[in-house]
Structure 1
């Protein structure tokens, strides 16, 4: 009996996740698009595309880098410290999305960072993003990236 239950538990764990709710699907797709542009931001057109996912008055809180109070400052930091240096990946299964009535959503998850030069994915952090749906477009209004650590610490 224990063997049968274990086999059932293992087979259920191997099944693909049930379809996410529409809000989670929207946020996941928008996150993917925003960070596809981020990951290719060495190209100025991709950096400009990345900018469209942020409200002009976005607040970005980074435990190691400090706070930026608007999109222009945040993008200047992205251009200086990120573009051409590393890419961001969402850790599979980590994204959780919560609706915010008459505004948008809160997304939480974990992301890892992979260096272009070495190909190694050695850094990771947790994140929380406040998304606003305005005029049919999702934009990040508040972003927190925190708990930066090496993958080896997990």
Structure 2
């Protein structure tokens, strides 16, 4: 069978369209959004580190869903009951963002995704305990205010 130039042209055109359709179309993260989420992360975890429950709690939406690899799905009430218990422990737990791990991605008409690694530290039985874990947080911007609506905590 001879090569038909019309069929060849059609195939080239068809495969070009398919390849373009499969291109990754990711919304770019502006430096403004990155800086805003980086600042919000610092504010939220400053409240955590100082155990300021009213300020800390205000940065989470009431429809919060918190997924933890070793704890399952937790709702808003359970999450803050657990934090309240933690804040009353003898030792003080602190969190720091691991430098260079922060990623921020926009969510159209909603907010942003924050991904990174963080370390938690505390002294227990005279010894410093340090754990490094991964997280993903979904931030919602509503009425000019940022709140965390979803958390995925993993790699424990």
Q: TM class by shorter-chain length?
A: 0.7 to 0.9
* Separation of aligned partners in 1, 2:66 and 2:87: 15
- Corresponding residue number in structure 2 for 1:75: 80
- Whether the aligned pair in 1 keeps the contact of 2:118 and 2:132 (CA below 8 Å) is yes
Q: Where does structure 1 lack aligned partners over 5 or more consecutive residues?
A: 1-19, 149-154
- Whether the aligned pair in 2 keeps the contact of 1:87 and 1:116 (CA below 8 Å) is no
- Corresponding residue number in structure 1 for 2:21: none
C-alpha RMSD of the superposition: 1.7
**Structure with greater Cα Rg:** 2
- Give the superposition deviation at 1:116: 4.2
- Corresponding residue number in structure 2 for 1:12: none
- Give the superposition deviation at 1:81: 3.0
* Pairs within 5 Å for 1:104-123: 104-117=111-124, 118=126, 120=128, 122-123=130-131
Question: After the TM superposition, which parts of structure 1 deviate over 4 Å for at least 4 consecutive aligned residues?
Answer: 116-119
Residues matched between the structures, number:
124
* Separation of aligned partners in 1, 2:47 and 2:112: 21
Match of 2:137 among 125, 129, 132: 129
- Corresponding residue number in structure 2 for 1:139: 147
Give the secondary structure class of the aligned counterpart of 1:120: strand
Moved more, 91-100 or 72-81: 72-81
TM-score, normalising length: structure 1: 0.74
* Separation of aligned partners in 1, 2:109 and 2:35: 18
- Give the superposition deviation at 1:127: 0.3
Q: Where does structure 2 lack aligned partners over 5 or more consecutive residues?
A: 1-29
TM-score, normalising length: structure 2: 0.73
* Separation of aligned partners in 2, 1:110 and 1:67: 20
Distance change in 2, residues 1:53/1:116 (3 Å):
farther
Residue 52 (1) aligns with residue 58 (2): yes
Residue 93 (1) aligns with residue 103 (2): no
